[in-house]
């Protein structure tokens, strides 16, 4: 149990799927030394199989009695997808640009596919990092006690001296956000950019986010935006809370979407394309109240009234989105 917990809130209404966060993370941490296939930050389209493929059905996490559930280790080629090279020779010979390998999946394989049928198809993006859970499945699964939570901020890290590469942690994490590095035979994961955090800077994914969707701060800091979104207004919810790991990344669920069209292509007033059941699956029953609060506060603002919640979500000042130095 850590004394304090850092958390991130992501507003899914503002994510444009640009992958700037993914590139910021990859260039900083995972473009070398056996980490090439890893995406500590990825942005996936929902509904969709995600990355690694079908991670939501891959087990791990805890049952209702608190017992660790069995999980699988995703396959490198089938579920993560191997890094590829392009065959530039063919391009210069007048052919189409081809990859050199036989690809089967990748970190953004089903981008923008989504669900529903034209003209009522729908999708939204979910950026994912390690949730730095309060009850981490990865930590519980490790027989070497090589995974630990830092007291001062709750960041979950792997002690590479202790790790023997057994990979139980990968099976135990229901989000599949811990990876095996075949070059050093050890597990590695998102470190919440702790060297940056220790200098008062937010993680690179949050700092670079062009949509200004990411807030970072301590969960007990009552003046902070993270506290207000999670605890005061309760519009930021953990992903798959039923997995039992108590995640510390929270999401403002998608409220905006075009209405459904009827057979004459006329918009149906008050309709939603994304089935509410899908949002319930992702964020639990609390999603109803969160959407209702967001709707009401938007209406207030539209009438010209004050709304602290809307001011926070608009994120006028990028700097205010990060509060790391209020010890
Ligand atoms: Fe561990 Fe997975 Fe939770 Fe990260 S998301 S702390 S890897 S259980
Ligand atoms: Fe979404 Fe921000 Fe990442 Fe772009 S940088 S994909 S807006 S989270």
Ligand index nearest the alpha carbon of residue 239: 1
Residue nearest atom 3 of ligand 2, based on CA coordinates? 21
Ligand 1 atom with the smallest distance to the CA of 60 is 8
- Going from the C-alpha of 285 to that of each of 149, 211, 227, 233, 276, the distances in angstroms are 29, 27, 20, 16, 10
Structure confidence at residue 96 (pLDDT)? 75
What's the pTM value of the predicted model, to 2 decimals?
0.95
Structure confidence at residue 88 (pLDDT)? 81
Ligand 2 atom with the smallest distance to the CA of 127 is 8
Structure confidence at residue 81 (pLDDT)? 92
Ligand 1 atom with the smallest distance to the CA of 131 is 5
Structure confidence at residue 326 (pLDDT)? 59
Low-confidence ranges of the chain (pLDDT < 50): none
Residue nearest atom 2 of ligand 2, based on CA coordinates? 209
Complex ipTM: 0.96
Beta carbon of 156 within 6 Å of any ligand 1 atom: yes
CA of 9 to the centre of ligand 2 (A): 13
Structure confidence at residue 95 (pLDDT)? 76
Ligand 2 atom with the smallest distance to the CA of 24 is 5
pLDDT (tens digit per residue) in 208-241: 999 999 999 999 999 999 999 999 999 999 999 9
118 exposure class (CB count in 10 Å sphere: 0-12, 13-18, 19+): exposed
CA of 74 to the centre of ligand 1 (A): 15
Structure confidence at residue 86 (pLDDT)? 79
CA of 135 to the centre of ligand 1 (A): 9
Ligand index nearest the alpha carbon of residue 126: 2
């Amino acid at each position: 149990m850590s004394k304090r917990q850092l958390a991130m809130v992501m507003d899914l209404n503002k994510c444009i799927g640009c992958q700037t966060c993914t590139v910021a993370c990859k260039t900083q941490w995972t473009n070398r030394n056996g980490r090439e296939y890893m995406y500590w930050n990825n942005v996936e389209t929902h509904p969709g199989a995600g990355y690694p493929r079908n991670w939501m059905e891959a087990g791990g996490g805890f049952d209702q009695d608190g017992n660790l559930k069995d999980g699988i280790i995703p396959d490198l080629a089938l579920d993560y997808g191997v890094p590829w090279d392009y065959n530039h020779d063919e391009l210069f010979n007048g052919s189409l640009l081809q990859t050199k390998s036989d690809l089967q999946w990748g970190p953004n394989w089903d981008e923008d596919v989504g669900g529903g049928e034209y003209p009522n198809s729908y999708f939204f993006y979910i950026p994912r990092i390690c949730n730095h859970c309060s009850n981490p499945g990865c930590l519980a699964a490790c027989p070497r006690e090589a995974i630990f939570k830092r007291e001062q901020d709750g960041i979950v890290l792997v002690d590479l001296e202790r790790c023997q590469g057994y990979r139980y942690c990968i099976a135990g994490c229901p989000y599949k956000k811990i990876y095996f590095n075949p070059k050093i035979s050890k597990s590695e994961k998102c470190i919440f950019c702790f060297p940056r955090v220790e200098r008062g800077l937010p993680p690179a994914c949050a700092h670079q986010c062009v949509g200004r969707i990411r807030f970072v701060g301590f969960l007990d800091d009552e003046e902070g935006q993270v506290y207000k979104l999670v605890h005061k207004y309760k519009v930021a919810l953990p992903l798959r809370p039923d997995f039992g790991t108590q995640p510390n990344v929270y999401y403002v669920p998608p409220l905006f979407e075009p209405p459904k069209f009827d057979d004459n292509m006329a918009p149906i007033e008050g309709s939603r394309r994304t089935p509410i059941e899908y949002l319930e699956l992702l964020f639990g029953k609390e999603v109803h109240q969160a959407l209702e609060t967001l709707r009401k506060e938007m209406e207030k603002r539209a009438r010209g009234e004050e709304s602290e919640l809307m001011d926070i979500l608009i994120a006028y000042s990028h700097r205010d989105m990060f509060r790391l130095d209020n010890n």
